[in-house]
Amino acid sequence: MHRTVITKERLNGTYRLSAYWMAHMTSELPIALLIPGVSWTVVYLMAGLPYDIKLYLSTLFVTVVVGMMSQVDHSIVCCVCVCVCVCVCV
């Protein structure tokens, strides 16, 4: 569906691809942050992990990045981002 919309809008000269992409990502950002944030909070508390704000925020950051990168559908990029996030958080 996105391809047909992008093609039509580009041929009409309505706006550039970068404007469409930024609007699309901005509109999906709240859901991309809310769903992993709520689900990870529930999992974190139910797993009985220590109440350490640094540990919670670092694992939440990794969860959100993995969720956002999985939407990109590039598994190699996702794996690299996960490795970088884990190295940064540790």
The per-residue pLDDT for range 14-63, each reduced to its tens digit, is: 777 778 778 877 888 888 788 888 888 898 889 888 888 998 898 888 88
Check residue 9 and give its pLDDT. 76
Q: How many CB atoms lie within 10 A of CB 62?
A: 19
**Whether residue 90 has pLDDT greater than 60:** no
pTM: 0.59
- Pick left, alpha or beta for residue 76 (phi over 0 → left; psi -120 to 50 → alpha; otherwise beta): alpha
Q: How many CB atoms lie within 10 A of CB 16?
A: 11
Residue 35 or 90, more confident: 35
What radius of gyration do the chain's Cα atoms show? Answer: 17
